[in-house]
Amino acid sequence: MLFGRKVQRIKRILIVEDEPLIAFDTEHSLTESGYQVVGTVDSVEAALELVAKQKIDLLLVDLGLTDGGNGVEVAAEARRYGMHVLFVTGRCPKGAESLGIGCLEKPFTQRDLKAAIDSIETLLSRGSVKKVPPGLTLFGENASAA
């Protein structure tokens, strides 16, 4: 029997966050964990530009952004490109469940964020997650795994 490393599906991440300290900490933590952060932006316009031009495996999207826009707009566009979205916000958006794979509620630690990304990685690989980390809600059919 061969034991190999699991294939990592989430490598390239876009951070869409209007709070500079959270954005900086998240970018630093993810980079240290071996992810490639393709960008850290704080507006809908900047996020949509990167979604259209970059290959992105996962977007971490806050709802309230500096240009007055809503992260739901970003998620809808990312969905059109077949990208996965994890809402990272104070309150999970109602009615946006079809646009994202889940929601991680603020406040969270960087450890919680990494555990959430690991859970999404497991979900994408195996189709279910046995134990969801604190603060993470998986949407739709994924919610039954919680």
* 12-139 CATH: 3.40.50.2300
- Helix or strand run (H / E) with residue 136: strand 136-138
> Measuring CA to CA, which residue among 41, 53, 34 is closest to residue 117?
34
Per residue in 49-58, pLDDT (tens digit) is 999 999 999 9
State the Cα–Cα distance between residues 114 and 111, nearest whole angstrom: 5
Per residue in 95-134, pLDDT (tens digit) is 888 999 999 999 999 999 999 999 999 999 888 898 999 9
pLDDT score for 92: 86
**Which of residues 8 and 55 earns the better pLDDT score?**
55
Q: How many C-beta neighbours within 10 Å does residue 128 have?
A: 13
| Angle CA 82–40–29, to nearest 5 | 100
User: What are the extents of the domains in the chain?
Assistant: 12-139
**What backbone phi and psi angles, to 5 degrees, belong to 103?**
-145, 135
pLDDT of residue 47 exceeding 80, the answer is yes
**What backbone phi and psi angles, to 5 degrees, belong to 72?**
-60, -35
Distance of CA 4 to CAs 1, 115, 126, 128, Å?
A: 10, 21, 16, 20
State the Cα–Cα distance between residues 135 and 76, nearest whole angstrom: 23
The pTM score is 0.91
